[in-house]
Amino acid sequence: MRVIPLGGMGEIGKNLTAIEYGDDIIVIDCGLKFPEEEMLGIDFVIPDVQYLIDNKHKIRGIFLTHGHEDHIGAIPLVLPRLCVPLYGAPLTLALVEHRMLDTRTPYKPSYNNVQPGETVKVGCFEVGFIRVSHSIPDSLAIYVRTPLGVVLHSGDFKLDITPIGGVEGTDLASFAELGKEGVTLLLSDSTNSERSGFTASESIVSRTFEDVFRRYKDNRIVIAAFASNLYRASQVFTIAARFNRKVMLVGRSMISYVELARKLDYINVSSDLLITPQDAERLPPNRMVVLTTGSQGEPFSGLVLMSKGEHRQIRLGEKDIVVISATPIPGNEKLVSNTVNRLFACGCDVIYERDAEVHASGHASREEQKILLNLVKPKYFMPVHGEYRHLMRHSQLASEMGIPARNIFVLQNGDTLELDPSGGARPGLRVSAGSVLVDGVMLGEFEGSLLRERKELSESGILAISLVIDDEYRLAAELQIDSRGSVYGFDRGNMRPDIEAAAVSALENVRAGAVDREVLATEIRKKVRDVIGKNYRAYPGIMPLISMIGTGREARPQEGAKRTRKPGRPRRSGNTKKPG
């Protein structure tokens, strides 16, 4: 048997783990990751699933722990290539369905609802589900009875003893029962393995909100939270009703998550509590609450637009109090900090992470991780869902709990853990794994060319040179030059003669037979680069666009030329007509 993490190791995001025995594979989660700063223009990142595609005839299903993006976000792109059934709790599957519609893929998945306590037989596996608390309803731990014992995946969890809204918390009894049955391998959430003690209960946030509502009774209250944290939304609704305020939802994802949760009965909110922007205009500010996206400082989110004064309905000012009910995800600190700065500059008061208990994490801290280890008593342990340091701290904790170091495996994406019938376990051969970058609807291994080009463009810009030549390779019209993000734009008066001379000398070389006609574009690029590099120390990307007249034929496609004119279509002149 092999356990193969293809994502989520050494990173927070794109969680995906495969379990393989003989001719059967099951997959747990299929998430995405948000791009690193240097991935210019990339929308998100998904795991490389080549291994699964190569073995798709073996895959019996994808099982989902919960509906967060880092667990379901890659499904619209991965599932149509695997064509296997999906299993998950109702809210999780509804969120997948919503994403499928959003991405407009024609693929129709086979959705299979599962409940805690239930088991499903697929291939040689029996898969079961245990309820856990997390920052989204319907979160599950998943256990798999395999021919070589039980493999338990904690999912994202915490042990909230006082969860809100009458929701039951993590089902400790079921974990204990599984521990009695015997767990061969535990894979457990490492996100908060650097935090000692216990993670705060979601219900403390209610108390903080109440304080805010009491203290700022004359102000409009704006609360920013994760759209997927429906517990948070439901607390806002309850408290708003109690303080006789109406709630206006702002942000596309906030509106759609709340709508979905109401439809599926995860949130109980009366229709007259929610108001439209038009209703809001007629209401005194201290009779309303705005619940918005943007707690991570995401560009174009509700709160960020408000902080820039660019939101169509909400103008913030001295009469407003803003509560950011979240902590920044690692990497988002700067965005959040900028947003807080702008909010203060609008004149409003801001309550954010350090001030008060305005947020409770959804992940177990060290004491909770210990409790899980203690209840389950696994033979082998594999920390998952964390950057490398989180995985290491979690593995140290497991060895403090008495698991021998040789039974703890810190793996990377694509590593495998092999378990054999005699009860042994060891790292096996690696399989292909990595990141696939997604830009719009395009996906691919872009790192090599696309990102390098974008980086070059961001540093030096681009210079386009359009030449119309006759069949003697002489200029037949004035040279057109245009640029974006290049110093040429600022110094075109001086640079133009140099560029023109360089292009003309490239044409001369072709006429003289010193340079092959086929590589005219390359020759122009080289000549122009040399001259402006030498004279101006500028190194923009150079894009020669060559068209031929007089013979009725096009210049042959130039090696490396990005665009050539299509026959019969007039060239758009763009800005090239500008003087100089």
Q: Which is nearer to Zn ion, 167 or 356 (CB)?
A: 167
User: In the bound complex, what is the minimum distance in angstroms from residue 135's beta carbon to Zn ion?
Assistant: 6
Q: Which two tokens stand for residue 376?
A: 């389950």
For 377, how many CA atoms within 13 A lie in the half-sphere containing its CB? 8
Q: Which is nearer to Zn ion, 70 or 202 (CB)?
A: 70
Mapping DSSP to helix (H, G, I), strand (E, B) and coil, where does residue 565 land? Answer: coil
260: alpha, beta or left? (left if phi > 0; alpha if psi -120 to 50): alpha
The pattern of x and - marking residues 67 through 96 that bind Zn ion according to CB under 5 A reads -x-x--------------------------
Q: Which two tokens stand for residue 330?
A: 């690692």
Q: Which two tokens stand for residue 289?
A: 């609450």
For residue 513, what are the contacts with CB-CB under 8 A and spacing of at least 6?
none
How many Å apart are CA 423 and CA 182, to the nearest integer?
13
Phi, psi of 516 (to 5 degrees): -65, 140
> How distant, in Å, are the alpha carbons of 449, 477, 520 from that of 526?
20, 22, 10
How many Å apart are CA 234 and CA 268, to the nearest integer?
8
How many Å apart are CA 220 and CA 233, to the nearest integer?
17
Across the beta sheet with 541-548, the strand order is 480-484, 462-469, 541-548
Q: Which is nearer to Zn ion, 156 or 320 (CB)?
A: 156
Q: Which is nearer to Zn ion, 130 or 481 (CB)?
A: 130
Mapping DSSP to helix (H, G, I), strand (E, B) and coil, where does residue 450 land? Answer: helix
How many Å apart are CA 336 and CA 238, to the nearest integer?
27
How many residues touch Zn ion under the rule CB under 5 A: the total is 3
User: In the bound complex, what is the minimum distance in angstroms from residue 160's beta carbon to Zn ion?
Assistant: 14
User: In the bound complex, what is the minimum distance in angstroms from residue 71's beta carbon to Zn ion?
Assistant: 6
User: In the bound complex, what is the minimum distance in angstroms from residue 337's beta carbon to Zn ion?
Assistant: 24
> How distant, in Å, are the alpha carbons of 88, 107, 125, 435 from that of 84?
13, 11, 16, 22
User: In the bound complex, what is the minimum distance in angstroms from residue 66's beta carbon to Zn ion?
Assistant: 6
User: In the bound complex, what is the minimum distance in angstroms from residue 23's beta carbon to Zn ion?
Assistant: 30
The pattern of x and - marking residues 115 through 154 that bind Zn ion according to CB under 5 A reads ----------------------------------------
Question: Which residues does the annotation mark as catalytic?
Answer: 189, 363
Closest CA to 107 of 128, 78, 134: 78
48 makes contact with Zn ion (CB under 5 A) = no
User: In the bound complex, what is the minimum distance in angstroms from residue 356's beta carbon to Zn ion?
Assistant: 24
Q: Which is nearer to Zn ion, 368 or 523 (CB)?
A: 368
How many Å apart are CA 39 and CA 33, to the nearest integer?
12
For residue 215, what are the contacts with CB-CB under 8 A and spacing of at least 6?
none
User: In the bound complex, what is the minimum distance in angstroms from residue 114's beta carbon to Zn ion?
Assistant: 17
Mapping DSSP to helix (H, G, I), strand (E, B) and coil, where does residue 51 land? Answer: helix
Q: Which residues pair with 247 in a beta bridge?
A: 274, 289
Q: Which is nearer to Zn ion, 167 or 346 (CB)?
A: 167
How many Å apart are CA 519 and CA 479, to the nearest integer?
19
On whether the CB atoms of residues 185 and 379 are closer than 8 A, the answer is yes
Q: Which is nearer to Zn ion, 28 or 543 (CB)?
A: 28
The interface with Zn ion within residues 156-175 (CB under 5 A) comprises 156
Question: In this chain, which stretch among 63-71, 122-130, 318-326, 468-476 interacts with Zn ion, using CB under 5 A?
Answer: 63-71
Q: Which is nearer to Zn ion, 11 or 439 (CB)?
A: 11
Q: Tokens 């205009």 — which residue?
A: 281
- Binding residues (CB under 5 A) for Zn ion: these are 68, 70, 156
